[in-house]
Amino acid sequence: MRVLGIETTCDETAAAVVALNPMGGAEILSNEIMSQIAEHAAYGGVVPELAARAHVEVIDRLVERAMAKAGVAFADLDGIAAAAGPGLIGGVIVGLTTGKALALATGKPFLAINHLEAHALTARLTDGIEFPYLLLLVSGGHTQLIAVEGVGRYRRLGTTIDDALGEAFDKVAKMMGFPYPGGPYVEKAALTGDPKRFALPRPMMGRPTADFSLSGLKTAVRLQVEKLKIERGGELKAHDVADLCASFQTAVIDTIIDRIKVALRLFYAECGMPNAVVVAGGVAANKAIARALTSFTAELGLPLIVPPGHLCTDNGAMIAWAGIEKLRLGQSDPMDFAPRARWPLDAAAEPVHHGKA
Ligand code: KG4
Ligand code: ZN
């Protein structure tokens, strides 16, 4: 089974071909990506209109390249999958329309994929993990703890009540003068910093729900930055930046572990033992977080799965894989499937105040 996957929900245009062999193993035949980071850098964040235009400009070439690198013709495909949301609606329309057009022209089944579902299922592409598992989804737009019980069966155990974790990393990075997206710069600076120099808050610590809150932590960093700037008479010193990043990242790690503890309790009560803890989304590329989670889950005797960085951040392979997961269950989607700016994985979950999904 071979599926083409198209991803255009944010600032990466991506196309990939993934194959499922008869033994059940998955193989990424191609995974092409074009990042628009340079186009948005000057604005300190993603500009939706610029993103949509940039997707239109490159999507055809990218799909062609993904097909050529995979060495397959359209006739060899079993389905065409495209992310249909959630995300920036202009970009979503570009990828979704491309997917539909290709499916219509080739007569192949069409699969409208939830971008979050694709992140959630990536660990099955990379590690073949069985359901159920606990997913920590941490990206620029989402921070959620989800019980993944099966394809299409997601139970949200916790979410952020304000900022997403990647967003908090990006905002802290901006305060330090790093370019967007700043998560990787914060991680790098933290390597040489003193995580104990600043006593930053651990929001939600000890609360009985598995929700996150990150805006208080972000504000605490901002106050420290302002105080230091006054003391220094202007700019932060390199060691201030390193210490701030290390202190912030450590506060984030403590918070994540505390929230996962609560989520595991909820998981156990509702669905029994998980087979693993899985981390997905752009922030999963953070090695310090992964290291801390590895020792935490090892103590519990649970495997931790963190897919390789390029499959944690947005990519086409995860969309193709989600397409395979649906296709092999006999599912496909109609051509009038509408693009969705918002599309929560767990439709039954209560919306949270100021939440992102
Ligand atoms: O999943 P993703 O590629 O895009 C979406 O938001 O859907 O995630 C991007 C986010 C950005 O906020 C970026 O700063 C963050 O992931 N990120 C990191 C790291 N690499 C990417 N955050 C912390 N440490 C990293 N190494
Ligand atoms: Zn994403």
- Ligand closest to Cα of 312 equals 1
Pocket test for ligand 1, best of 185, 250, 283 (most atoms within 8 A of CB): 283
The finding on whether 79 has its CB within 6 A of some atom of ligand 1 is no
pLDDT in tens, the chain (357 residues): 999 999 999 989 999 999 999 888 999 999 999 987 788 877 877 888 888 898 999 999 999 999 999 999 999 999 999 999 999 999 999 999 999 999 999 999 999 999 999 999 999 999 999 999 999 999 998 999 999 999 999 999 999 999 999 999 999 999 999 998 899 999 999 999 999 999 999 999 999 999 999 999 999 999 999 999 999 898 999 999 999 999 999 999 999 999 999 999 999 999 999 999 999 999 999 999 999 999 999 999 999 999 999 999 999 999 999 999 999 999 999 999 999 999 999 988 877 755 444
Ligand 1 midpoint to CA 283 (Å): 4
Same fold across 2-126+310-327 and 131-302? yes
Owner of token pair 């944690």: 312
pTM of the model: 0.92
Class of domain 131-302: alpha beta
**2-126+310-327 to CATH, choices 3.40.50.1820, 3.40.50.261, 3.30.420.40, 3.40.120.10:** 3.30.420.40
The domain spans of the chain are 2-126+310-327, 131-302
